[in-house]
Amino acid sequence: MSSTPLPGIGVRYDLTTRERRRLSVIAHRDGGRTLSAYRKEDPDACALSTRLTAEEAEALVDALMPSHHTPNLLSTTELGLVAERIELASASYWNGRVLGETRMRTETGASIVAVLRRSGAIPSPAPDFRLAGGDILIVIGTREGVDTAAAILGRE
């Protein structure tokens, strides 16, 4: 994706899709957006252009990327694996307990591959790593495994 400042108007963002379709969005200074799609056979010929209010643009973003997928969802691969950020609440049963006690991999098939803490990132935490409220755990597994891991970690 590339961006181009449009003085007095806003910024234009251009994207070429995997199918070689050109799309652009102009982010107007007033919060509105103009969404344009160009013809495949002639990428300079506009096939659709529509002006959206800020509220309409927000609704479109929600439709394209539902809030239940962001900001926690990090990635999805063709293998059906997802990586998600799961915050450990201070009221969590696991606050102060060691990671191995969760039996995460055994119970869910998902793995905790890193912990983000105010003091920094802890990659590949060992089973004796002590969890703390406010930790953000990076969990990788199947969608079902990660959902089960979130339920386990949410236990109070």
The CATH code of the domain that includes 144 is 3.30.70.1450
Residue tagged 């991999």 (tokens): 105
Q: Final residue of a domain: which of 64, 84, 103?
A: 64
Distance CA(85)–CA(112), nearest Å, equals 10
- Average confidence (pLDDT) over 33-47: 90
User: Confidence band (pLDDT; 50, 70, 90) for 134?
Assistant: very high
Q: Final residue of a domain: which of 15, 43, 64?
A: 64
pLDDT at residue 105 in the model: 93
Residue 73 predicted with pLDDT over 60: no
Domain span at residue 59? Answer: 2-64
Distance CA(25)–CA(48), nearest Å, equals 12
pLDDT at residue 77 in the model: 57
* Averaged pLDDT score across all residues of the chain: 87
Supply the DSSP symbol for 66. Answer: -
Residue 126 predicted with pLDDT over 60: yes
Number of domains in the chain: 2
Tokens describing residue 110? 């998902």
Residue 74 predicted with pLDDT over 60: no
Rg of the Cα trace of the chain? Answer: 21
- The alpha carbon of 72 is separated from its chain's Cα centroid by a whole number of angstroms, namely 5
- Average confidence (pLDDT) over 70-94: 76
